[in-house]
Amino acid sequence: MKIEHIGIAVKSLGISDELFAKLLGKEPYKHESVEREGVTTSFFQVGDSKIELLEASKEESPIAKFIEKKGEGIHHIAFGVENIYAEIERLKENGFIFISEEPKQGADNKLVVFLHPKSTNGVLVELCQEI
């Protein structure tokens, strides 16, 4: 398991891409829309990990609701795993609660699943596996 990326909810991908490009000294390597989740993302490579900026593309998306409730900021931390199904089972056996127990296609060519913050000290945790 490794830290794959940190997801940051933003109001404007254009403004935030510019800000993070200045901060990190490089441009994002990828922009991607995940229609099913109502989000548009951009990714910055930072060493072995990434920063994922998330902008809502629909008013009812989880990112829009997050920003409305908490404002811009860290949304989730994602851990890269070799076998997402084995990790789901291992974590369920250890009492962790999932938002959805069935992985789905996410951004950046990943299979993803989220743990409920109630079981992870208030932090939204994503597991992701390279497809």
Average pLDDT of span 28-55: 96
pLDDT for residue 1:
85
Sign of the Cα pseudo-torsion (90, 91, 97, 103, in order): negative
pLDDT tens digits, one per residue of 61-85: 999 999 999 999 999 999 999 999 9
Chain-centre distance of CA 28, in angstroms? 15
Q: Which residue is it, tokens 């949304």?
A: 75
Mean residue pLDDT of the chain comes to: 96
pLDDT level of residue 54 (50, 70, 90 thresholds): very high
Tokens at 71, concatenated: 């404002």
CA distances from 93 to 86, 88, 90, 120, 126 (A): 11, 9, 5, 15, 17
pLDDT more than 70, % of the chain: 100
- CA 120 to CA 105: how far, in whole Å? 23
- CA 62 to CA 32: how far, in whole Å? 17
